[in-house]
Structure 1
Amino acid sequence: MTKDWAVATGHPLATSAAKRILSAGGNAVDAGVAAGLTLGVVQPDLVSVAGVAPIIMFDSQTGMVTSYDGVGGWPEAADVDRMHRDHGDHVPEGILRTVIPAAPASWIRALSCKGTMRFADIAEEAIAAAQDGFVVYPLFADFVASRKEKYARFASTAAIFLPDGKPPLFGQRFLQTDLAWTLEQMVAAEAAAGPDRLAGLAAARAAFYTGPIAERIVAFHAERGGLLTAADLAGYQVREEPTLPIRFRGAEIHCCGAWCQGVSMAQALAMIEQAGPEAANRDGTLNLHFVIEVLKCVFADREAYVTDPDHMPVPQQHLIEPDFIASRLADIGTMSDPMPAPGRINSGQPEVFRIGCADTSHVSVIDGAGNIFSATPSDPSYDTEVVPGTGLSVSSRGSQSRSIPGHLNALAPGKRPRLTPNPILALRDGKPWMAMGTPGGDVQIQAMVQVLLHILDQGKTVKDAVRAPRVATYSFPGSFSPHDMHPNKVMYESDLPSDQVADLAARGHDLSPWPANTWMAGGVCLAMRDATGMTAVADTRRAGTAATAGD
């Protein structure tokens, strides 16, 4: 393997972890898992070590693209009728929205199948950051402070995130010694299994899903009236899922499937590609009206059709078939459609506008051999109870299910919530080209589509494409409880050129400005390999950093 590589992650310590692994001879998967595990420690407001971790990878030796869903299903005790009776239409915050934690299994599956290193090798930075602490940075401090009342609801969560009853301050050191214990249990189990790498990884996984960590999780859920059982944890398996490859401007973009909103990313790209560059671009800039209307159609179809593929009413391929794409393009006019069918749902009362979701992070890695790793780990800590003695806020991703009997995304035993995290990777002429992803909830695919258009249609450098001002539509039911919708609403960063703002206003969009370079517009992490070499860019909108071997 050559020493050339590119890394972009959501936090400097995660980037450092990936750099160390790559410099030591590890591959993109080793580095990506090290970074992803570290993100669960140093971004504990946005990412959980016991959360979700969808992964998409390219193997340069086989030329194959693989994705792991990295999301657990609902516990077997989940009952939508009981949830609706007790809590109404929305899954409540707290322990009842817990689904089976997938991230540890997802990381270890990737290491076992495509990596070269042991768990202890890749966990060094994560354990150190948990045991010795990390310096509180502005986004983390602001996030916890703005949700102080939510963190204070649960004693075990407040004990970590509100030490002495106060949010952590910028510059302080934030400790998570219980989380260090959890990771050390996995390392110790690996060591006890002997020198065989795969046996050691299996033992590390078992420590979490059937060993001392599982015991603490299960006991706490039993004590607090949760649904998760030992059988749920012991029976969990990450699923390898087919990717959805889309030809887009000469590149082959691989998206994840309908178990997340990856199929919506694929549909958006398919619509823009089929319409041609002349539709997405006008007078030397992006035709944002067209892009927004495409996204509104995509989100309408997401609401109508997209759920765990085991429960979808139509095959996911239907949403990217040329005839269907053509029919959706025919619905786009010169003026804004506030709520395109079939997503037209009227609750009968106005909704309070919410600015979006901050949870999630990302890691993109390309190594010198051309292997690609792209993962979007997630799950917040403010909306659930930390399991005492473990430091774990176990996956609260049930927030993206519905407690409405008969709803497409109604919770059910074993059923996966429809994830917002959806990493992508791209090839050109069959060769590795790009890894990309972003936090941002429903803004994720919107941010990535705009970045791709700036690179492939507008000819911007990667750095300029990531930095370019963004827009986001909210004309659809949101993915997170309470699933608000805001017909015709478009947010735009305040440094968007005035002529583009004026054009959107003239076409009937309900516009509101964000601050320039705001975290609400995403936090893209992008690694690229082309004829000029390696490039890595992390969005300055958030706390991410990027590095290449030459840095």
Structure 2
Amino acid sequence: MHRRSFLAALPLGVMGAGAAMAQPYPNVGMGDRITGERFAGRSTVWGSQGAAATAHPIATLIGIDTLRRGGSAIDAAIAINAALGFLEPVANGIGGDAFGLLWDPALGRVVGFNGSGNSPMGLSLETARSRAVDGYLPRYGAVTVNVPGTVDAWWSVHQRYGKLPWAEVLLPVAELCERGAPVPQVIAYYLERNMANFQRPNAGIEEIDNALSVYTTSGRTPREGEMFRNPNLGRTYRMIAEGGRDAFYDGPIAEHIESYFRRIGGWMTRADLAAHQTEWVTPLMTTYRGVEVYGLGPNTQGLSTLQLLNVAEQFDLRTMGFQSAASIHHQAEAKRLAFEDRARWFSDPRFTEIPVEHLLSKAYAAERAALIRPDRVMDHVFPGDAPTQGDTTYFSVADADGMMVSWIQSNYRGMGSGLVPDGPDGSTLGFMFQDRGELFALRDGHPNLYQPGKRPFHTIIPGFACRDGQPWMAFGVMGGGMQPQGQAQIIINMVDYGLGPQEAGDAPRWQHYGSSEPTGQPAEGVGVLHLESGVPAVSRAGLEAMGWTLGPPDGGFGGYQNVMRQINADGGWTYGAATEMRKDGLALAW
């Protein structure tokens, strides 16, 4: 069976991106910094009144401008997310879902929300199975589309935490869509490849003309530095600014969406949209060497980050050495153990009982850690016994009142399903629907089995960490199954190896592929451990000697943002913001 890779940030065909993006001067290394670690591409950005770190410089500027106009961190987060839906359509948009963790200064604790939508009530399991490819749901098309949760998430968090009027948050972004912006390097690269994939023979997309009209001009996508405009999305934002969430879920936008799916033979209806509601949730938490690390529970994979850290905590990674074979080996084996539980248990908790407390316990982590051999990769990894009771953008933002927001939003595989809904007067609504439904299982008895009105397993997860009960970091690493692996590496880099937020993100990363998947796809032996080129040669040799199959850099190591709060000697705090050198992003503070 052909192995399918579930990388939300990467469209089909980008697994060879390491070769495709090769530089003309492969033997030239980085310049030398006068301070800090040599592998860090820049310094952490510091400010006292607020900070933002996003995947696009203009989105960061919009976030900072929203804060400077008196907005809260939530106002800034909504404006950033709306801007990224235009600026970075290869990773997110209002056709997808959103999740968040935030520090509420008034409550003095971390709170979370789940903004993921249900599958259409009119799409049966029988019909879904009839559209399967090799026993799994396809990558693209209407069968993969769930109710988009993002706009309702914006509305719900703004009702609680917004300071600026709703329309004042969105209208500057609508103007940006109409005015346009130059396309940066990485986004131009992915935009071209996404659109090429959608146009492949037998892609399974009911219609592609709407997407072509939005994202191409004269038969091609915009190149680096060229202007891109999306006035249709600007008009949609104006409707949402005027009519609130109801404009999208039970108003003119909902009418257009229902008519579109009726036209192409899909299943989404206005009733499906109107029934959607963001869920406020209590985050899960574990400690890693005294640091409190938070994650969202299923239907997300946030528990996997916490499980990975619980297992890694059983070993003295600091003594093993930064980027050593031993340290990477134990981290990767912890990932393999956590991901087998992910494949076995994770699903929509409204439909399946999931033994979260047991899977999160330190006693269970100790049992699992005992399976790891220090000098040899495990031949087989299975989910643990538990009592029966289961392409993305990420950004961080903080304000002067102490609110810190960790926000992640995605259309799943690259740009999403390939489907852009019709708009008024022969136009479009300017956004693409997610293909998150691809992650349902179709095997009877599986917790993540497709059902109408059910949320699929979700890869996107925000991260948050506290120290001594006070907020420390709003952070995340985007990119499908890379997210728990990347989040754990950031925590380990900072806690075990003492790196700062920018250095922790710029450090070379590893990613393991080949674990079992929540779609029911089984593991493939020990899988493949991909290493970035900065991992020392001696570590590579040591990992191969342990039995690891090593893969090259493939462009799939995620995208990272972080806003860290530092308590200073005078008792006040400052914010340190860091961004991802692998993307087009920018971190700013003031």
Q: Same fold (TM over 0.5)?
A: yes
Alignment of 1:540 onto 2:578: no
1:243-290: CA deviations, max 9, x gaps? 0111112221111111100011111122223x04x1464045551100
* Divergent runs of 4+, >6 A: 479-484
**C-alpha distance in 2, partners of 1:483/1:537?**
37
Residue 136 of structure 2 is matched in structure 1 by 90
How much has 1:445 moved relative to structure 2? 1.2
Question: SS of the residue aligned with 1:376?
Answer: strand
**C-alpha distance in 2, partners of 1:221/1:484?**
36
Select between 533-542 and 20-29 the one with higher mean Cα deviation.
20-29
Alignment of 1:387 onto 2:432: no
Question: SS of the residue aligned with 1:49?
Answer: coil
Normalised by the size of structure 2, how large is the TM-score? 0.83
Residue 53 of structure 1 is matched in structure 2 by 98
**C-alpha distance in 1, partners of 2:518/2:174?**
32
The verdict on how the C-alpha distance between 1:250 and 1:213 changes in structure 2, with shifts beyond 3 A counting, is: same
Residue 349 of structure 1 is matched in structure 2 by none
Confirm or deny: 8 A CA contact 1:150 1:382 kept in the other structure: no
Residue 393 of structure 2 is matched in structure 1 by 361
User: Given the alignment, which residue of 530, 535, 553 partners 1:514?
Assistant: 553
Residue 538 of structure 2 is matched in structure 1 by 499
In structure 1, give the amino acid aligned to 2:419. E
Question: SS of the residue aligned with 2:286?
Answer: strand
How much has 1:486 moved relative to structure 2? 6.8
How much has 1:485 moved relative to structure 2? 5.1
Alignment of 1:454 onto 2:493: yes
Q: Which of the two has greater helix per residue?
A: 1
Alignment of 1:441 onto 2:486: no
1:26-77: CA deviations, max 9, x gaps? 2211111211121111111110122111111111111132111111011111
**C-alpha distance in 2, partners of 1:432/1:283?**
28
Residue 157 of structure 2 is matched in structure 1 by 110
Which structure 1 segments of 5+ residues have no match?
Answer: 190-203, 344-358
Question: SS of the residue aligned with 1:332?
Answer: coil
Residue 310 of structure 2 is matched in structure 1 by 270
In structure 2, give the amino acid aligned to 1:161. Y
Residue 141 of structure 1 is matched in structure 2 by 188
Confirm or deny: 8 A CA contact 1:58 1:66 kept in the other structure: yes
Residue 212 of structure 2 is matched in structure 1 by 158
1:394-409 equivalences under 5 Å are: 394-409=433-448
**C-alpha distance in 1, partners of 2:393/2:113?**
17
How much has 1:501 moved relative to structure 2? 1.2
**C-alpha distance in 1, partners of 2:85/2:58?**
11
User: Given the alignment, which residue of 236, 252, 258 partners 2:292?
Assistant: 252
Confirm or deny: 8 A CA contact 1:33 1:122 kept in the other structure: yes
Which structure 2 segments of 5+ residues have no match?
Answer: 1-46, 200-204, 385-390, 424-428, 569-573
Question: SS of the residue aligned with 2:481?
Answer: helix
1:47-446 equivalences under 5 Å are: 47-88=92-133, 89-92=135-138, 93-152=140-199, 154-189=208-243, 204-273=244-313, 275-276=314-315, 278-279=316-317, 281-283=319-321, 285=323, 287-334=327-374, 335-342=376-383, 359-379=391-411, 380-381=414-415, 383-389=417-423, 390-446=429-485
Confirm or deny: 8 A CA contact 2:98 2:407 kept in the other structure: yes
Question: SS of the residue aligned with 1:404?
Answer: coil
In structure 2, give the amino acid aligned to 1:538. T
Confirm or deny: 8 A CA contact 2:150 2:409 kept in the other structure: yes
Q: What value does the CA root-mean-square deviation take over the aligned residues?
A: 2.0
**C-alpha distance in 1, partners of 2:233/2:525?**
39
Confirm or deny: 8 A CA contact 2:90 2:194 kept in the other structure: no
Normalised by the size of structure 1, how large is the TM-score? 0.89
Select between 161-170 and 287-296 the one with higher mean Cα deviation.
161-170
Residue 529 of structure 1 is matched in structure 2 by 565
Select between 428-437 and 75-84 the one with higher mean Cα deviation.
75-84
How much has 1:129 moved relative to structure 2? 2.7
The verdict on how the C-alpha distance between 1:338 and 1:115 changes in structure 2, with shifts beyond 3 A counting, is: farther
1:491-523: CA deviations, max 9, x gaps? 0001111122122111110002217xxx42111
Question: SS of the residue aligned with 1:528?
Answer: strand
**C-alpha distance in 2, partners of 1:230/1:483?**
37
Confirm or deny: 8 A CA contact 1:6 1:528 kept in the other structure: no
Residue 201 of structure 1 is matched in structure 2 by none
Confirm or deny: 8 A CA contact 2:441 2:518 kept in the other structure: no
**C-alpha distance in 2, partners of 1:481/1:320?**
22
Question: SS of the residue aligned with 2:538?
Answer: helix
How much has 1:448 moved relative to structure 2? 1.4
User: Given the alignment, which residue of 454, 466, 473 partners 2:512?
Assistant: 473
Question: SS of the residue aligned with 1:502?
Answer: helix
**C-alpha distance in 2, partners of 1:124/1:419?**
30
How much has 1:320 moved relative to structure 2? 0.8
Confirm or deny: 8 A CA contact 1:81 1:405 kept in the other structure: no
Question: SS of the residue aligned with 2:97?
Answer: coil
Percent pairwise identity: 28
**C-alpha distance in 2, partners of 1:448/1:258?**
17
